[in-house]
Amino acid sequence: MADVQQIINDVTKVYGKERKALMPILQAVVKIKNYLDDQDLISISKALDLSAAEVFGTASFYTFLDIVPRGKNVIRVCKTISCHMAGKDEIIHAIENTLNVKTGETSVDKKFTLLSTNCLGWCHKGPVMLINDKVFPELTAAKAIEILQNYQEEE
Amino acid sequence: MENSRPKRVDIIFLMEGIDPIKVVETTIKKSPDDIILEMIDSGLKGRGGAGFPTGLKWKFTRNEESYDKYVICNADEGEPGTFKDREILDRVPEKVFAGIAICGYTIGAREGLIYLRGEYNFLLPTLNEKLILFNEGLKKIGLDFSIQMRSGSGAYICGEESALFESMEGKRGEPRNKPPFPTVAGYLGKPTVINNVETLVYAFMIARIGSEKFKEMGTKDSRGSKVFSISGDTPKAGISELELGMTVQQFVDEFGDGDTKAVQVGGASGGCVPRKMFQETIIGYEGIPTGGSMMLFNSSRSMYNVLHDYLEFFTEESCGQCTPCRVGCQQLLKGIEAIKRGDKSPGYLEDLKKLAKTMKVAAKCGLGQSVANPFVSIVSNFKEEIIY
Amino acid sequence: MSKYLVNLSVNDIPVSVPEGTTILAAAKKLDFKIPTLCYHEDLCVAGNCRVCVVEQVGARALVAACATPVSEGMQIHTNSATVRTARKTIIELLLSEHNADCTKCYKNGNCELQSLAHEYRVGEHVFIDLVNGKHRVIDDLSPSIIKDDSKCIRCQRCVRTCDELQGVSALTVAYKGDLQKISTFLGHPLAEVVCTNCGQCVNRCPVGALVEKTYVEEVWNAINNPNKHVVVQTAPAVRVAIGEELGYNPGERLTGKMVTALKRLGFDSVLDTDFTADLTILEEGTELLTRLKRALVDKDTRVALPMTTSCSPGWIKFIEHTFPEFLPNVSTCKSPQQMFGALAKTYYAQKKGLKAQDICVVSIMPCTAKKYEANRPEMRSSGYKDVDFVLTTRELGMMIKQAGINFHNLEDSQYDSFMGESTGAGVIFGVTGGVMEAALRTVYEVVTGREVPFKNLDILPVRGMEGVREAKVKIEGCLPEWKFLDGIEVSCAVAHGLANARKLMQAVKDGSAHYHFIEIMACPGGCLGGGGQPIPTNEEIRAKRATAIYREDEGLPLRKSHENPEVKMIYEEYLGAPNSNKSHALLHTHYLARRRY
């Protein structure tokens, strides 16, 4: 796992030690480890000379900047209207059963976190989900399970 | 276009024979004032939904005296039902870049930024690669301007321009008080043009072929064409570029599944047009304006569920700072639930409508103000479905 | 503000105001009150509660009067049908997410939302109650401040206060949408984060979401306990502000009435923190001179200069978190409150023939951080908790009302003796720059044998409300033992409000500013603007309290700490000399580096 301090150094080299570097830093940390822990928030606040509360307040505003532990692969199933109409509930049930988790939870092996999220911008090809940054449109329950299996086997 | 079919257009995605850098090179031989005149003359209005005349926005920003100015491309496309900007950035990113560069030259900016929603992060690697080449291209033609990517992280409200600035400045994406407007004090407090992805491509196209060609299309108040994101109960879900000025009826005739009972125009924050109003409602500024989202519902759909989904969306995606939006959204959502359960009388719907109307005039930003659009239109036209 | 005038009309009455004026201010000029909640004169404009929306003719939506500047030809209506409906709806919405159990609320009768609900006669159960469904957490772990989110209306005054005025940012807005809330870092209790307990947020919270932790009942119990000898001390800034709790205008000096009231409340002895303020000057002045001597004569490079004051517990906690590397620079003197407590349970007890454990020391402070300070483990020099209970000015007001005392008709009376005598120098501890002025009056005279060279002893350069002020005092003609100071220009700085303190300390840290002595008060205006003072507060009110404090100083026969006869007496009969071993044991303390989050 990349050192958070290293990420901070790299990003501030590009953006300066200014507040506008905050989002890129938070995003870079989340990209590597899928969430920000207390210590990350503190390190970032020190680097940018912000209060830890402000960094927390900012991170907690953004759905993708998770501040609770997440699995290695974060699944976000779109729950907004078109995907709802196209059957997102089925997809979620299938994933919940496959991973033995409920929405919002992380699998015991810490490989997956299942979340539902607002519109992902694939309304013509719902249901859709993101796994980390990767998008999977036009899902069926079977397809979703197959995708998860591929991720399972990746290790 | 009386009862004719919506006219398909192919401007946005057409790449054949177009070299964006070349177009920039030719355009910047003109004076910024001439470019602004051309933009104003074209009648191009913002394609994100709010519809502010693009030429005027550029003009105001150009008139500001500041060493630093910015052009920002708003690619925080979060409106449920909208996915055109993703398609545009995926298929013809160079046209977007060129639109940004032309704007930059026109207003006297040296920096352009594209704020891409986090949900579209998968586009980032390609866009970054292409930007390197494009920025080099700009250098070659001697334009002191470069473009960089910025990302969002899952917050619908950041599509609101001042919230987007806040986010880029490393803060919570909370809309600012206006005035000052972005043309005076935008990103980092500097004069800023912020345009939607699609707007910038049309601006590029107008720079290339002139305002006359653009003006030929559409109506007096709604010039040109528009990319529509079509979804819901339709056999033709996807992207279509159509000339503006058609009625909802014409649209439904083309894209409906034969059983369309309502069309939500403009996404969750837009209005719901019921079947009885298809014929009289024009899609455009003289009728119902839209950022391009067209969601069709057939008679199998419960409009209560539709409204419930929207309200849940706004309840979660409100930034939470202003009272009418933060509390109002929760009240509307809990209100229709209570009516459905029978905990509140059907008469309570009228109270909620009044609340929605207050939100429309008293909320701080466009999000809170627009929640009334779906609420009032759905509740008024499908009252029985909401109550029973 | 611009010199250009803008013409507009408010409710059809024409008015001209300078460009840049808000609609709110323009309406005020015509005596139209527009209700506000998130707006506060001390803070930047938020425009988020929307209670102040007004109608601008021709505009698509209503506009927030607090956030919208006037423009030429603007026509504003502050009470149109649309405005009234919107305003009432907004108040109703706020009440729906507010735990409106008003009769049991600490702020009952002093709540801005309650007043608005009253003004607009909001009906019952208009909207669905959103409070019940939510998990209610009350953070009452801090000895100073209680935070109850169920009462919060998200106006963000506290967040802006903590950030802009205090530069602490212990509070932030967290999450969004229906989950949005005011939070500390990760929602930790206030007691476990960088909160300095200054209470400025409490002063500005329009509702009961942030209030002081009250100890009024504990104090009544002590008073009612026949085995307890209850001693009360009053801080300098209380006497010029208590009136605001009892129906007086800001700036009334009510020292005599306050003392009478305290006696009627049943305190066994009514004494004055000003006495230990004078004592602080001798201890701290001596400490400063000692440090200067070690630096200048002994060439000891380890001496920490500039030396900063240590009276303000908010400042102490701030520096412990934020600039721990400067802790050696902080004077080791306890604050006057704690000096008082330590002496009450030792010197006073001895002289009165009482046992320390039978004495209960109560402080009336303009401050919420003093509650925290009294709880610090270092503050037990007497072997007991030196100060038992700390009440704010507001809590004293509450006790006076509860006791049914008609304050207006009270006669004046004098503080009890001993430890009740004070000088004007002790009194001005209550205003920013006051400790500096008091210290200079004494130190200059100790060193030169002459009075400080300012007319009427008023050291004007350190006075005022500028956030950071500097002064230089040239020392000439020293007495023989202070010869090493001859010709030296003592460089001083004063800051009030922790945001200014941060600026000043940053300048010291990066070497861009050089001083010998720095006074810092955590609160805007000094203690008179403290977090325990009457609500509301603003610049005008603080200025009036400041004027009252300087009047009090002028009116006293003695105005230099070293002339306080009781101070002389305590050195003679108990402490020996300033900075003696006994002084160190009772009157000095040490500090702790703390985490900066």
**Cα gap B59→B62, rounded to integer Å:** 5
Chain A residues inside the 8 Å CB shell of B86: 121
- C26-57 pLDDT per residue, tens: 999 999 999 999 999 999 999 999 999 999 99
Q: Which residue from B196, B259, B239 is spatially nearest to B84, judged by alpha carbons?
A: B239
Is there a contact between A118 and B172 if contact means CB atoms under 8 Å apart?
no
Cβ distance C242 to C373 under 8 Å? no
What whole-number distance in Å separates Cα of residue C519 and Cα of residue B315? 48
Q: Report pLDDT for C3.
A: 77
In a domain, B106, yes or no: yes
CA-based torsion, B37, B39, B44, B46: positive or negative: negative
Question: Which residues lie below 8 Å from residue C15, measured CB to CB, with a gap of 6+?
Answer: C7, C8, C9, C26, C29, C30
Asked if residue A88 and residue A141 are part of one domain, the reply reads yes
Closest partner CB to A121 (pick from B119, B168, B295): B119
Number of H helices, E strands in chain C: 20, 18
Neighbours of chain A (3+ CB pairs under 8 A): B, C
Q: Quick one: A98 and A146 in the same domain?
A: yes
DSSP secondary structure code for residue A124 in this structure: G
> Does the global pTM surpass 0.80?
yes
| Cβ contact A42–C597 (<8 Å) | yes
What confidence score (pLDDT) does residue A154 get?
78
Question: Considering only CA atoms, which of C64, C57, C59, C60 is closest in space to residue C10?
Answer: C57
- Domain annotation covers residue B275: no
C217 Cα distance to chain centroid: 23
Task: Tell me if the bond preceding C306 is cis, omega within 30° of 0.
Answer: yes
Best residue in B120, B150, B153 to probe A by mutation, most A CBs within 10 Å?
B153
pLDDT, tens only, A92-149: 999 999 999 999 999 999 999 999 999 999 999 999 999 999 999 999 999 999 999 9
Q: What is the three-class DSSP state of C564? A: coil
C-beta of residue B361 within 8 angstroms of C-beta of residue C61: yes
Q: Which amino acid is at C543?
A: A
The enclosing H or E element of C158 equals helix C157-160
Query: Does residue B287 fall inside a structural domain?
Result: no
Sketch out chain C's domains with CATH numbers: 5-79 (3.10.20.740), 94-212 (3.30.70.20), 227-597 (3.40.50.1780)
Which residues in A lie closer than 8 A to residue B232 (C-beta atoms)? 81-82, 85, 123
Q: Kindly state the average pLDDT of the residues C155-171.
A: 98
Domains in chain B: how many in total? 2
Q: What is the predicted pLDDT for the residue at A2? A: 61
Query: Min CA distance, C185 vs chain A (Å)?
Result: 4
Structure confidence by residue, pLDDT tens digits, B113-151: 999 999 999 999 999 999 999 999 999 999 999 999 999
Token pair in block for residue C148: 């109850």
Instruction: Write the single-letter amino acid at B38.
Output: E
Q: Are strands B192-196 and C181-183 parallel, antiparallel or unpaired?
A: unpaired
Whether the CB-CB separation of C568 and C423 falls below 8 Å is answered with no
- Round to the nearest angstrom and report the end-to-end CA distance of chain B: 40
3-state per-residue secondary structure call for chain B: CCCCCCCECCCCCCCCCCCHHHHHHHHCCCCHHHHHHHHHHHCCECCCCCCCEHHHHHHHHHHCCCCCCEEEEEECCCCCCCCHHHHHHHHCHHHHHHHHHHHHHHHCCCEEEEEECHHHHHHHHHHHHHHHHHHHHHHHCCCCCEEEEEECCCCHHHHCHHHHHHHHCCCCCCCCCCCCCCCCCCHHHCCEEEEEHHHHHHHHHHHHHCHHHHHCCECCCCECEEEEEEEECCCCCEEEEEECCCEHHHHHHHHCCCCEEEEEECCCCCEEEEHHHCCCCEECCCCECCCCEEEEEECCCCHHHHHHHHHHHHHHHCCCCCHHHHHHHHHHHHHHHHHHHCCCCCCHHHHHHHHHHHHHHHCCCHHHHHCHHHHHHHHHHCHHHHHC
How many whole angstroms separate alpha carbon B268 and alpha carbon B317? 12
Instruction: List the single best residue of C21, C89, C96, C171 to mutate versus B (max B Cβ within 10 A).
Output: C89
B2 pLDDT above the threshold of 60: no
CA distance A137 to chain C (A): 27
List the one residue out of C310, C304, C285, C307 whose CA is nearest residue C516: C307
Please, what's the b/e burial string for A106-130 (b: 16 or more CB within 10 A of its CB; e: otherwise)? Answer: bbeeebbbbbbbbbbbbbbbbbbbb
User: Which chains have 3 or more CB–CB distances shorter than 8 Å to chain C?
Assistant: A, B
The dihedral of CA B58, B59, B60, B61: what is its sign? positive
In this complex, do B154 and A19 lie within 8 Å of one another by their Cβ atoms? Answer: no
What is the rounded CA–CA span in Å between residue A28 and residue A23? 8
pLDDT digits (tens, 9 = 90+) for A23-51: 999 999 999 999 999 999 999 999 999 99
Instruction: Output the pLDDT for position C133.
Output: 64
Calpha distance C268→C419 (Å, rounded): 13
| Domain match, B85 and B205 both | yes
Q: What does the block give as tokens for C79?
A: 């009470």
State whether residue C185 sits within 8 Å of chain A by CB: yes
Please name the member of B171, B232, B310 whose beta carbon is closest to the beta carbon of A85. Answer: B232
Contacting chains of B (3 CB pairs or more, <8 Å) are A, C
Assigned domain for B242 exists: no
Torsion, Cα C229 C230 C235 C241, to 10 degrees, reads -150
Q: Do A24 and A95 reside in the same domain of the chain?
A: no
Assigned domain for A67 exists: no
Q: Do C185 and A53 touch (CB under 8 A)?
A: yes
Give the sheet arrangement for strand C13-18, strand by strand: C13-18, C5-10, C75-77, C53-56, C63-64
**φ, ψ of residue A57 in degrees (nearest 5):** -60, -40
**How far, in Å, are B294, B367, C69 from residue C83 at the CA level?**
34, 20, 18
| For range C545-559, the mean pLDDT | 97
CA–CA distance, C567 with C422 (Å, rounded to integer)? 9
- Cβ neighbours, 10 Å, residue A44: 27
In this structure, what DSSP letter does residue C164 have?
Answer: I
Question: Does any domain span residue A96?
Answer: yes
When pLDDT is cut at 50, 70 and 90, the band that residue C311 belongs to is very high
CATH no. for residue B340? 1.20.1440.230
Q: What is the mean pLDDT of residues C277-288?
A: 98
* Domain annotation covers residue A66: no
- Mean pLDDT computed over C314-341: 98
pLDDT band at C267 (very low <50, low <70, confident <90, very high): very high
Answer whether residue B249 is part of any domain: no
Instruction: Judge whether residue B1 has pLDDT over 80.
Output: no
Beta pairing, strands C75-77 & C172-174: unpaired
Question: What are the φ/ψ torsions at residue C509 (nearest 5 degrees)?
Answer: -65, -45
Task: Looking at the complex, report in whole angstroms how far the Cα of residue C316 sits from the nearest Cα belonging to chain A.
Answer: 18
| Residues, chain C | 597
Q: Which tokens belong to C172?
A: 């932030």
The torsion of the CA quartet A47, A48, A49, A54, rounded to 10 degrees, works out to -120
C-alpha distances out from residue B4 to B227, B229, B274, Å: 19, 20, 21
Same domain, A141 and A95: yes
Pair A88, A141 in one domain: yes
State whether B171 and B50 are in the same domain. yes
Give the span between the Cα atoms of C420 and C413, in whole angstroms: 12
Measured distance CA(B254)–CA(B260) in Å, rounded:
11
B224 close to B240: Cβ distance less than 8 angstroms: no
Mean model confidence pLDDT for chain C: 96
Q: Is residue B175 located within the same domain as residue B316?
A: no
pLDDT confidence band for C569 (50 / 70 / 90): very high
For residue A68, is it within any domain?
A: no
pLDDT higher than threshold 90 for residue B50: no
Number of domains in chain A: 2
B308 pLDDT band (50/70/90 cuts)? Answer: very high
Domain boundary pick from A38, A61, A84: A61
- Closest-CA distance of chain A to residue B205, Å: 25
- Same domain? For A149 and A102 the reply is yes
The Cα–Cα gap between C175 and A60 comes to 5
- What's the confidence (pLDDT) of residue B192? 98
Residue B337 within a domain = yes
A53 vs C172, C175, C176: nearest CB? C172
Please check whether residues A77 and A101 belong to one and the same domain: yes
Q: Whose CA is closest to C38, among C27, C49, C28?
A: C49
Shortest alpha-carbon distance between residue B175 and chain A (Å): 13
Structural domain that includes position A34 = 4-61
pLDDT tens profile C465-506: 999 999 999 999 999 999 999 999 999 999 999 999 999 999
**Do B207 and B307 belong together in one domain?**
no
Angle value at C-alpha C126, between C120 and C132, nearest 5 degrees? 115
Q: Do the Cβ atoms of A62 and B119 come within 8 Å?
A: no
Residue B274 lies in a domain: no
Q: Which residue of C has its CA nearest to A45?
A: C597
Domain enclosing residue B153, as ranges: 20-215
pLDDT tops 60 at residue B383? yes
Q: Does the pLDDT value for residue C357 go beyond 80? A: yes
Residues of B in contact with A119 (CB under 8 A): 78-81, 119, 156, 313
Whether B314 and B187 map to the same domain: the answer is no
Among A123, C477, A100, A9, smallest CA distance to B234 is for: A123
Give the model's pLDDT for residue A155: 61
Q: Among B215, B239, B259, give the residue marking a domain's end.
A: B215
- Picking from A38, A50, A61, the nearest residue to C186 by CB comes out as A38
Tens of pLDDT, residues B202-223: 999 999 999 999 999 998 888 9
Of C61, C93, C153, the CB nearest to B361: C61
Q: What angle do CA C588, C591, C593 make, to 5 degrees?
A: 175
Token digits of residue C357: 């454990």
The residues of C that are catalytic are: 284, 287, 311, 331, 370, 373, 378, 527
C157–chain B nearest CA distance, Å: 12
User: In this structure, are A46 and A88 located in the same domain?
Assistant: no
Domain endpoint, select from B166, B196, B215: B215
Is the pLDDT at C442 greater than 80? The verdict is yes
Provide, as residue numbers in chain A, all residues whose Cβ is less than 8 Å from the Cβ of C170: 51, 53
- Interface ipTM: 0.96
Same domain, A25 and A49: yes
**Per-residue confidence (pLDDT) for residue C408, from 0 to 100:** 97
